[in-house]
């Protein structure tokens, strides 16, 4: 056991992957000497050299496009997109090429490319630095989309993403980068939870909160507060958004009969809509109330002085829990 | 602005040419080529064969057997010349019109037709031929080529026996961000890549003036690597110039931009109507520069081939056309459940779930049929 921040856990996970496989590369803007703007790649260039930890020109489409070419030559690039809002210049390469090229080749091509994206708000940043673009990517067939919520998962999930032969969009909850936790780095791959497996982060009997990435912690805090009111709240950390571990979700919701979905992204047409629809289809006779959604308003992300009003917090989650029980 | 009827009426001064439209060998101070008669006859055969495949594909589209076809008519020399400059270890990244390069890389022409017939989106194994899949979004493949070239560098495969990549794109693509980013990447990393731009003068209906104020090959200097313009209808010059650029790339001298100055004799695709935007005079002027006629004239004049040879090639081409047609018509439609194949490489529960549900749905019709 070792105490790691989430950022350091990612760093250690990448380091391990680079040690295990010489084909693993890290590439992105400022990932070298600086170690990335969040220091997630800190020290990697010093230890693995400039050929394996590549400071790229400042162009996101170029990062993903050349990563595809490197993957075609047998490499496993891990690309850092500096901030969520900067992924859009690369959207064409991700959506039209990375996601679709294996199918285009009828399986002859594998593209083990990881696209790391620090996501979400809560750090007082300027525009384009606080977004939650996951639904754009979960909607794109050919991509796997995952989100880690804590240091232990960060350590294993980044290694699983790198080992995966499919392209993976890997969301990192930037405001949780500095959260610390005990991480057991000793178990090998065989003992890790499956890459597409959800995790019950807290057991409960009365209602299920579904969350991923930065909102898992918020939901755990809400569950602790609700317990004081005598409500037993289960929190499920989805971890993998595409594919979704629907059996785990359905099992929890059938047991509790109530469900609230929580994410930072705008509610309208967000990932929660898919969850709500699927739960309604699969758990209809178990539901005591409609699936409720908590998320950002259907507006662009506001200036940072307003973000505390935009982001779901403990009170908004508890409010939704109350509304669910009011049915 | 209307189309400029004088476009290409005189050869631009910087153009590398080794074989005139009349079939005369000319000298160039920087480039030369020493081909055996057998090699020249081989190039002639390549040119004729791929034009025949192209002709057959256009006909198949007109008869409803292909959804669409992008003809290479007029660009045979640019593609065969550059394609024959590649070694086996080199990797080529095409657009959707590189039928001639595909031919040089040993891709069965039938595979090219599959995409346009709609039975797949590509479907050959790029690693088998060192010829990547056709890329339809304009310019995207330039970055893939540069990334691949960076992989060659990391494999330590730069050097005399090294490998290089070549990437094809058109004049319209030079306006794309990805193409410009690929120039920057290639330059900064000194990647072993040759950018082969077929300037066929038209991006669907938009003339070159809509893309650039300067000759395209001169763009390279701003990115810090050499650019050169070659007569794209001269298979000798295309071969010589590409061969040199690939050699430079392989030996660690970095990228080159080649602008092959040519002309799209046909429509952009079979869905296009060029009579709406360009004048017939322009076409007539370029007909006189046909890439095949000049090789034929050269062979004839220099007594390197006789009528029997030309007849034999024509017969072989006709046979290829018939063969491509027959196999195209025999190409089976894919099975409905193949929609779910190859979306992911590793098991994916959503694919499994949707495939199973769709299979059950389809099976419902079968049981209805059988109960009748």
Looking at the structure, tell me whether residues B348 and B248 fall in a common domain: no
| pLDDT given at position B46 | 98
Task: Answer positive or negative: Cα dihedral of B87, B89, B93, B98.
Answer: positive
Looking at the structure, tell me whether residues B276 and B361 fall in a common domain: no
Q: For chain B, positions 184-213, list CB contacts with chain A under 8 A.
A: 184-185, 188
Looking at the structure, tell me whether residues B349 and B314 fall in a common domain: no
| pLDDT given at position B372 | 63
Say if residues A95 and A31 touch (Cβ distance below 8 Å). Answer: no
Catalytic residue annotation of A: 129
Q: What is the pLDDT of residues A54-108, one digit of tens each?
A: 999 999 999 999 999 999 999 999 999 999 999 999 999 999 999 999 999 999 9
pLDDT by residue for chain B (372 residues), tens only, comes to 344 444 544 556 689 999 999 999 999 999 999 999 999 999 999 999 999 999 999 999 999 999 999 999 999 999 999 999 999 999 999 999 999 999 999 999 999 999 999 999 997 999 999 999 999 999 999 999 999 999 999 999 998 889 999 999 999 999 999 999 999 999 999 999 999 999 999 999 999 999 999 999 999 999 999 999 999 999 999 999 999 999 999 999 999 999 999 999 999 999 999 999 999 999 999 999 999 999 999 999 999 999 999 999 999 999 999 999 999 999 999 999 999 999 999 999 999 999 999 999 999 998 777 776
Residue B341: give the domain boundaries: 336-371
Residues from chain A contacting residue B178 (CB–CB below 8 Å): 61-62, 65, 92-93
Specify the CATH number for the domain of residue B56: 3.40.50.970
Q: Which of B345, B348, B351, B353 to mutate to test the interface with A (most CBs of A within 10 A)?
A: B345
Residue of B nearest to A112 (CA): B345
Contact A106 B120 (CB under 8 A): yes
Looking at the structure, tell me whether residues B314 and B358 fall in a common domain: no
Say if residues B157 and B172 touch (Cβ distance below 8 Å). Answer: no
Residue B14 placed within a domain: no
Mean pLDDT of chain A: 97
| pLDDT given at position B14 | 84
What is the number of structural domains in chain B?
A: 2
Catalytic residue annotation of B: 264, 268, 277
Q: Taking residues A216-226, what's their average pLDDT?
A: 98
Looking at the structure, tell me whether residues B316 and B340 fall in a common domain: no
Residue of B nearest to A111 (CA): B345
Looking at the structure, tell me whether residues B283 and B343 fall in a common domain: no
Looking at the structure, tell me whether residues B294 and B325 fall in a common domain: yes
Looking at the structure, tell me whether residues B239 and B134 fall in a common domain: yes
Residue from A186, A201, A173 nearest A265 by CA: A173
How far away is chain B from the Cα of A75, in angstroms, using its nearest Cα?
A: 7
Residue of B nearest to A64 (CA): B143
Residue B5 placed within a domain: no
| pLDDT given at position B11 | 54
How many whole angstroms from its chain centre is CA B319? 23
Q: What is the pLDDT of residues A223-269, one digit of tens each?
A: 999 999 999 999 999 999 999 999 999 999 999 999 999 999 999 99
Percent of chain A with pLDDT strictly greater than 70? 100
Looking at the structure, tell me whether residues B55 and B147 fall in a common domain: yes
| pLDDT given at position B2 | 41
| pLDDT given at position B300 | 96
Q: Does domain A2-191 have CATH number 3.40.50.970?
A: yes
Task: Report the C-alpha gap between A198 and B1 in whole angstroms.
Answer: 60
Dihedral of CA atoms A278, A282, A285, A286 in degrees, nearest 10, equals -80
Looking at the structure, tell me whether residues B313 and B355 fall in a common domain: no
Residue B2 placed within a domain: no
| pLDDT given at position B12 | 63
Looking at the structure, tell me whether residues B217 and B343 fall in a common domain: no
Residue B276 placed within a domain: yes
Q: Rg of the Cα trace of chain B?
A: 22
Residue B350 placed within a domain: yes
DSSP secondary structure letter of residue B16? B
Residue B319 placed within a domain: yes
Domains A2-191 and A199-326 equal at CATH topology level:
yes
Q: Domain A199-326: give its CATH architecture.
A: 3-Layer(aba) Sandwich (3.40)
> What are the structural domain ranges in chain A?
2-191, 199-326
Q: What is the pLDDT of residues A300-311, one digit of tens each?
A: 999 999 999 999
Q: Taking residues A119-124, what's their average pLDDT?
A: 97
Contact A141 B343 (CB under 8 A): yes
Looking at the structure, tell me whether residues B179 and B80 fall in a common domain: yes
Say if residues A177 and A40 touch (Cβ distance below 8 Å). Answer: yes
Axis crossing angle, helix B37-62 with helix B291-301, rounded to the nearest 10: 150
Token digits of residue A80: 């850092």
Q: What is the pLDDT of residues A160-209, one digit of tens each?
A: 999 999 999 999 999 999 999 999 999 988 999 999 999 999 999 999 99
Residue B22 placed within a domain: no
Say if residues B178 and B137 touch (Cβ distance below 8 Å). Answer: no
């Amino acid at each position: 056991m070792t105490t790691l921040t989430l950022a350091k856990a990612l760093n250690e996970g990448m380091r391990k992957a680079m040690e295990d496989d010489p084909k693993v590369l890290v590439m992105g803007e400022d990932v070298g000497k600086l170690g990335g703007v969040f220091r997630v790649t800190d020290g990697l260039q010093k230890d693995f050299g400039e050929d394996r930890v590549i400071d790229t020109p400042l162009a996101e489409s170029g990062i993903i496009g050349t990563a595809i070419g490197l993957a075609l030559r047998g490499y496993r690039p891990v690309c850092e997109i500096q901030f969520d809002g900067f992924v859009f210049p690369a959207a064409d390469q991700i959506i039209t090429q990375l996601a679709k090229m294996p199918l285009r080749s009828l399986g002859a091509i594998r593209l083990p490319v990881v696209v790391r994206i620090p996501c979400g708000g809560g750090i007082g940043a300027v525009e384009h630095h606080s977004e939650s673009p996951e639904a754009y990517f979960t909607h794109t067939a050919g991509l796997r989309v995952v989100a880690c919520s804590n240091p232990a998962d960060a350590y294993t999930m980044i290694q699983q993403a790198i080992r995966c032969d499919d392209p993976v969009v890997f969301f990192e909850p930037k405001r949780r980068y500095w959260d610390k936790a005990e991480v057991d780095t000793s178990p090998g791959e065989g003992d890790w939870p499956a890459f597409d497996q959800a995790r019950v982060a807290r057991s409960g009997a009365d209602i299920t909160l579904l969350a991923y990435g930065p909102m898992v912690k918020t939901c755990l805090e809400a569950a602790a507060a609700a317990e004081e009111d005598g409500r037993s709240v289960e929190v499920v950390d989805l971890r993998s958004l595409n594919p979704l571990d629907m059996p785990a979700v359905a099992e929890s919701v059938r047991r509790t009969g109530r469900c609230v979905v929580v994410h930072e992204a705008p509610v309208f047409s967000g990932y929660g809509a898919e969850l709500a629809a699927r739960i309604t289809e699969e758990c209809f006779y178990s539901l005591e109330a409609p699936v409720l959604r908590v998320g950002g308003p259907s507006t662009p992300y506001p200036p940072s002085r307003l973000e505390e009003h935009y982001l779901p917090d403990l009170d908004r989650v508890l409010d939704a829990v109350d509304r669910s029980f009011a049915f | 602005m209307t189309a400029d009827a004088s476009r290409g009426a005189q050869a631009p001064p910087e153009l590398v040419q080794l074989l005139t439209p009349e079939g005369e060998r000319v000298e160039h101070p920087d480039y030369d080529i020493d081909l055996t008669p057998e090699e020249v006859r081989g190039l002639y055969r390549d040119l004729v064969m791929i034009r025949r495949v192209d002709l057959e594909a256009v006909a198949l589209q007109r008869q409803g057997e292909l959804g669409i076809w992008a003809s290479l008519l007029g660009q045979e020399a640019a593609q065969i010349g550059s394609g024959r400059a590649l070694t086996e270890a080199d990797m080529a990244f095409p657009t959707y019109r590189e039928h001639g390069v595909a031919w040089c890389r040993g891709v069965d022409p039938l595979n090219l037709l599959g995409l346009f017939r709609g039975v797949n989106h590509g479907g050959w194994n790029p690693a088998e031929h060192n010829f990547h899949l056709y890329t339809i979004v304009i310019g995207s493949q330039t970055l893939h080529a540069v990334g691949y070239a960076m992989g060659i560098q990391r494999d330590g495969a730069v050097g005399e026996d090294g490998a290089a990549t070549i990437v094809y794109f058109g004049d319209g693509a030079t306006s794309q961000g990805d193409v410009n980013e690929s120039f920057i990447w290639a330059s900064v990393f000194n990647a072993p890549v040759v950018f082969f731009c077929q300037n066929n003068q038209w991006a669907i209906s938009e003339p070159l003036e809509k893309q650039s104020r300067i000759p395209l090959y001169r763009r390279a200097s701003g990115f810090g690597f050499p650019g050169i313009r070659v007569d794209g209808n001269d298979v000798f010059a295309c071969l010589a110039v590409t061969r040199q650029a690939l050699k430079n790339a392989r030996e660690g001298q970095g990228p080159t931009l080649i602008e092959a100055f040519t002309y799209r004799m046909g429509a952009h695709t079979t869905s296009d109507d060029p009579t709406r935007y360009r004048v017939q005079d322009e076409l007539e002027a370029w007909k006189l520069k046909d890439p095949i006629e000049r090789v034929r004239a050269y062979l004839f004049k220099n007594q390197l081939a006789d009528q029997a040879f030309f007849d034999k090639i024509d017969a072989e081409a006709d046979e290829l056309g018939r063969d491509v047609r027959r196999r195209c018509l025999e190409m089976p439609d894919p099975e409905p459940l193949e929609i779910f194949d190859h979306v992911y490489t590793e098991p994916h529960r959503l694919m499994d779930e949707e495939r199973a549900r769709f299979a059950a749905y389809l099976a419902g019709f079968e049981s209805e049929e059988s109960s009748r």
